[in-house]
Amino acid sequence: MSDAPASTAAPGTVHVPEVTLGLSADAEQFARGVADDFGDLLASLSGYAELALECTNDPHMRTVALVRLRELSARGLALTQQLRTYARRDPPVLRVIDANEMMDAALAATTDARSADIDLDLRCNVAPAVVRGDAAMLQQVVTALITNAHEAMPAGGTLTAATNLVEMPHDAARTIIVPAGLYIVLTIADTGVGMSAETTSRMFEPFFTTGPRRTHGAGMSLATVAAITAQHGWVIGVESKVEVGTAISLYMPLAAEAVSFVPGLDDQSSRDTMPSRSA
């Protein structure tokens, strides 16, 4: 027996019940973020396409517009890949990889005009930095961290990219809870705007914002970082202070195969060379 109220519609009409979407706050934020990102992207693509069409007699401006169209297309493809990674959670293809090589590849992929006012401090304190993981996914993680470090330094600064061999637990990482053992710690640090404790606690949420402007780590990039990290069983550590900067560290177990790869393994464990932004 139905509890629905009796219909008051006229004979021959179709009653369409009122539908409440009832999106959760998280789902609403996610949907709005996707719409905003793709809306901005499509608006930019349309603008530069119009410019390219109008500049038939100005080869230089036409080239500028076409180059920008290519960059925006790459951005759209990257965002699509991030969404797929976050939604599908495809299992990683695990193999022995060198985190230093992934870091070098990510740095090369993110070298652009923004680097003019940013100094790079590269510290490969263990070589090779052997871990088990999906090479493409690790490069995606490091690229996202480097890009976010760039964006946190609009006025320039120093970007530090480092790998260390660390025996856990140790005093320098009291807040990191991982099983005891040797870890490759890959750190990307910046001397940028930094984040408050509240922002830091939410930085891995998809499309998290604190207002009209996106914050450090906004969009899908850091949400994808968190998803990939969880898939691998790695751990992320974050240190940040407003107007000082941010250091994000990825703790990855040293691969068992490292014994044959890393000479003098016992002498390389580090306790004092990891970049920090807690000062």
Assess if residue 2 is contained within a domain: no
Q: What average pLDDT score do residues 24-51 get?
A: 71
One domain, residues 72 and 103: no
Q: What pLDDT, on the 0 to 100 scale, is given for residue 19?
A: 39
Rg of the chain over Cα atoms, rounded to whole angstroms, equals: 23
Reported as a pLDDT band with limits 50, 70 and 90, residue 73 is: confident
Reported as a single tens digit per residue, the pLDDT across 173-198 is 566 788 888 999 999 999 999 999 99
Confidence of residue 261 (pLDDT cuts 50, 70, 90): low
Boundary (domain end) residue, out of 42, 73, 88: 88
Is the per-residue pLDDT at 220 higher than 90? Answer: no
The answer to whether position 7 is within a domain reads no
With respect to residue 279, please indicate whether it lies within any of the assigned structural domains: no
- Residues 130, 163, single domain; the answer is yes
The mean per-residue pLDDT over the stretch 18-28 comes to: 48
Of the three residues 56, 88, 120, the one that is the final residue of a domain is 88
Residues 34 and 115 both lie in one domain: no
Q: Give the whole-number percent of the chain exceeding pLDDT 70.
A: 67
pLDDT tens figures, 141-180? 998 899 889 889 988 999 999 999 998 876 555 667 888 8
Query: Does residue 72 sit in the same domain as residue 124?
Result: no
Which one is predicted more confidently, 96 or 56? 96
Q: Would 165 be classed as within a structural domain?
A: yes
Is residue 123 helix, strand or coil? strand
Give the pLDDT band of residue 55 (cuts 50, 70, 90): confident
Residue scoring higher pLDDT (33 or 252): 252
Q: Is 148 found in the same domain as 169?
A: yes
Residue 54 lies in a domain: yes
Residue pair 169/114 in contact by the 8 Å Cβ criterion: no
The pLDDT confidence band at residue 216, using thresholds 50, 70 and 90, is very low
- Please report which confidence band the pLDDT of residue 236 belongs to, taking 50, 70 and 90 as the band edges: very high
Q: How many domains does the chain have?
A: 2
The answer on 119 and 233 residing in a single domain is: yes
* Same domain membership, residue 100 and residue 82: no
Q: What is the CATH number of the domain that holds 154?
A: 3.30.565.10
Please give the share of the chain, as a percent, with pLDDT higher than 90: 29
| Secondary structure (3-state) at 2 | coil
Strand partners, 186: 163, 250
Mean pLDDT of 201-208: 82
- The boundaries of the domain holding residue 30 are 25-88
Does a structural domain hold residue 125?
yes
Assess whether pLDDT exceeds 80 at residue 273.
Answer: no
Phi, psi of 41 (to 5 degrees): -65, -45
Rounded to an integer, the average pLDDT of 89-113 is: 82
Are residue 103 and residue 148 in the same domain, yes or no?
yes
Annotate 154-169 with b (16+ C-beta within 10 A) or e (fewer): eeebbbbbbbbbbebe
Considering the domain architecture, whether residues 106 and 67 belong to the same structural domain is answered as no
Same domain, 56 and 169: no
pLDDT, residue 32, reads: 61
Same domain, 69 and 122: no
Q: For residue 237, list its beta bridge partners.
A: 249
Last residue in a domain, options 65, 88, 111: 88
Distance CA 81, CA 2 (A): 47
**Does residue 278 fall inside a structural domain?**
no
Q: Does a structural domain hold residue 76? A: yes
Within 13 Å of residue 275, how many CA atoms lie on the same side as its CB?
A: 28
List the single range of 11-20, 41-50, 117-126 with lowest mean pLDDT. Answer: 11-20
Looking at residue 238, its pLDDT comes to: 93
Statement to judge: residues 123 and 214 lie in one domain: yes
